[in-house]
Chain A
C-alpha cells in the first residue's frame, strides 16, 4: 500500500479518536453561552476554570474519586492475594475434585453479569449491606477470571521448582510464599490492574447497590448529570468527565503493557 495513503487513513482514525476529547476539553474551559457558537470555538477565547472549581463546590467530586480509588484499590489488592492463592492450588497442588471444581468455575464465565443484578440486589439487601462499602467491594470478588490468569502464570513455572522446595522440607505454604510467588510478580500486576480496571469502569452494580451520594463512585456520581428533562449542565458534564479520565489515564501511562493484557482479559468478562 502507498505510504501516503496509509498515513492519511491513520490520520483520519487519530482525528476521529481525539476530536470528541478535544471538543469536551475545550468545552470544559468555556462558560456555557459560548458553547452555542457556530462554528465551534476550539480554543476558548475567554478560558475559565470555573467548571472545574464547581466540581468540588457543587458536587462531592473529590469524595467520589476517593471512593472509586478506595473500592477499586481494595478489590484489586484482595483479588491479587486470593487469586494467586487459588491459582497456585489449581496449578501446583493435587487434591480431590480439582478438575471438577476448575471446570465449574470456568463454566460460570458464560454467566453474563447482567443476570446477577437482581439476585445480588436482594442478597445484599437481605444481608443488610445495601448502601455500604461492603456492598461495593464483596460481590466483585467472585469474578473467577483472575484465578485462570494466575493459574496460567503458575503453570509456566518449571515443576522442578516445587520438587526442590519440597526436598528442602518446605510445605505448600512456604513454597507458595517464598519460592513461587516472587516469580509470578508480572502476573500479580496484570491481575491487579485487571481488577482495578473493572471496578473503575463498573456502573450497574454500584448503581444498584448504593443510593446515598456519599457512597457514589465516579461512574454513578457523574451519570446523575445526564440530561433527563432539564437542560444539561454543560460545564459540570464536560469538566467532570474529563477530570474523571485523569486517574485511569495515569494508570495507563504507568503500566501500559500490563494494561493492555489486563483489559483484554477484561473484555472476556464484559
Chain B
C-alpha cells in the first residue's frame, strides 16, 4: 500500500467518524433544537415582523412599515407604562436587596435553629406571585387589611393603599419586597459565609470599626454575588405583570400600568399587537442596556 492511499483512507475514516459524531449529536439535540427554533427563535423574528404590521387579532394583519414605531413611541399610554416599569424597578431592586442583606447579616452568626429560621423567612418566596398577590389583598385592603389594622391600632386614619394613585405602585413594590427578601437573603448568605474569616481577623487587628469591616471586607467579598442579584432582580422587576394584574389591573386611572401589562392589552384589549410588538422590542433593548450598564459600572468600581 502506498503512502498516498493510506493518507486518503485515513481522511475517509476521519470523515466517516465525523459524520457519525454529527448524526449522534443531532439525535441527542433534536428535540431541543425543534423547540428552540419553534418557540424561541421564530417568535423573536415574528415579533420584529409584527412591529411593522397592523391588526391581526381578528382580521388579517397588514404591512404598515414604520407607522407603528412612529405612533407607538408617541403613545402616552406606552410611555407611561415604561416609566412606571422603571419606577417599579428603581423601588424594588434596592429595597429587596437592601433588606435581604440586613437579614443575611443577621442570619450569618446563627448556629442552632438556623435551618428553622431560614425555612421560615423563605416561606414568602415559595408563593407564586399570583398567590402572593391574592394574599396581599388581605394586607392592603382598606377594610379588612392587615396594614390598616396596624394603622388603626395607632389611631390614624385608614389608608386606601391600592386606591390611591400615589400609593398603589409602592404597595405592589412592597409585595415584591415581602416575597423576595427571604430568597435573596439566603442567596447572599451563601456568599457571606464564603468570605474568609482571616480577612475579618486582620481587619480587627488593624482596629477597623464594624462599619469599615463591612465596607472594606464584607462588601468586596460578596461583590460578584451582589452583582448577579442586582441583574436578576432588575430583570424580574422590568417584567412585572402578575402582581399588577391581580392587585390593580393597571389602576387607579393607569397609575400602575406597566410595560408587560401594555403588551398583554395590546392583543387582548386594544387590538393593536403591532404597538405591543414595538414595546416588546423596546423593553428587551432597555433590559439589555440596563444589564450592560450595571455590569459595566460594577466592573469599573471593582477595578
Taking beta carbons and an 8 Å cutoff, which residues of A are in contact with B? 1, 3, 6, 9-10, 13-14, 16-21, 23-24, 27, 35-36, 38-40, 81-83, 85-86, 88-89, 93-96, 98, 101, 105, 108, 110-123, 138-139, 141-142, 144, 147, 171-173, 176, 200-201, 203-204, 207-208, 218-219, 222-223, 225-228, 232, 234, 237-238, 240-241, 244-245, 248-249, 252, 256, 260, 263-264, 267-268, 270
B25 touches A120 (CB 8 A): no
| B129 in contact (CB, < 8 A) | yes
For A121, what are the chain B residues with a Cβ–Cβ distance below 8 Å?
267
B9 to chain A, nearest CB (A): 21
- Contacting B241 at CB < 8 Å: which of A24, A89, A203, A240? A203
Contact with A along B8-33 (1 / 0, CB 8 A): 00000000001001101111110110
- Considering the chains assembled together, what is the distance between the CA atoms of A82 and B30 in angstroms? 9
A204 touches B130 (CB 8 A): no
20 inter-chain pairs at a CB distance below 8 angstroms, sorted by A residue, are A13-B106, A17-B178, A20-B178, A21-B123, A36-B143, A89-B24, A108-B40, A110-B284, A112-B283, A116-B39, A118-B263, A118-B280, A138-B38, A141-B39, A208-B267, A226-B133, A226-B134, A232-B141, A234-B138, A248-B127
For B126, what are the chain A residues with a Cβ–Cβ distance below 8 Å?
245, 248-249, 252
Query: For window 35-84 of chain B, which residues contact chain A by CB distance below 8 Å?
Result: 35-36, 38-44, 46-47, 50, 56
B146 touches A9 (CB 8 A): no
- Considering the chains assembled together, what is the distance between the CA atoms of A39 and B263 in angstroms? 42
- Considering the chains assembled together, what is the distance between the CA atoms of A98 and B18 in angstroms? 13
| B161 in contact (CB, < 8 A) | no
A208 touches B264 (CB 8 A): yes
**A16 to chain B: closest residue by CB:** B178
A225 to chain B, nearest CB (A): 7
Number of interface residues of B (CB under 8 A): 92
- Considering the chains assembled together, what is the distance between the CA atoms of A13 and B268 in angstroms? 40
For A17, what are the chain B residues with a Cβ–Cβ distance below 8 Å?
120-121, 123-124, 178, 181-182
| B135 in contact (CB, < 8 A) | yes
- Considering the chains assembled together, what is the distance between the CA atoms of A123 and B24 in angstroms? 30
- Considering the chains assembled together, what is the distance between the CA atoms of A138 and B134 in angstroms? 28
B209 to chain A, nearest CB (A): 13
A13 touches B128 (CB 8 A): no
- B contact face: mostly helix, strand, loop, or mixed: helix
A176 touches B28 (CB 8 A): yes
A111 touches B284 (CB 8 A): yes
- Contacting B128 at CB < 8 Å: which of A18, A105, A248? A248
For A201, what are the chain B residues with a Cβ–Cβ distance below 8 Å?
128-130
- Considering the chains assembled together, what is the distance between the CA atoms of A88 and B31 in angstroms? 13
For A88, what are the chain B residues with a Cβ–Cβ distance below 8 Å?
28
For B109, what are the chain A residues with a Cβ–Cβ distance below 8 Å?
1, 3, 6
A105 to chain B, nearest CB (A): 7
- Considering the chains assembled together, what is the distance between the CA atoms of A116 and B106 in angstroms? 40
- Contacting A118 at CB < 8 Å: which of B39, B122, B266? B266
B175 to chain A, nearest CB (A): 9
For A82, what are the chain B residues with a Cβ–Cβ distance below 8 Å?
31-32, 35
Query: For window 110-163 of chain B, which residues contact chain A by CB distance below 8 Å?
Result: 110, 117, 119-131, 133-139, 141, 143-144, 146, 149, 152-153
| B107 in contact (CB, < 8 A) | yes
**A89 to chain B: closest residue by CB:** B28
- Considering the chains assembled together, what is the distance between the CA atoms of A227 and B183 in angstroms? 29
**A83 to chain B: closest residue by CB:** B32
- State whether A268 and B131 are in contact (beta carbons under 8 Å apart), knowing that A83-B32, A204-B264, A232-B137 are contacts in the complex: no
- State whether A85 and B128 are in contact (beta carbons under 8 Å apart), knowing that A119-B44, A171-B24 are contacts in the complex: no
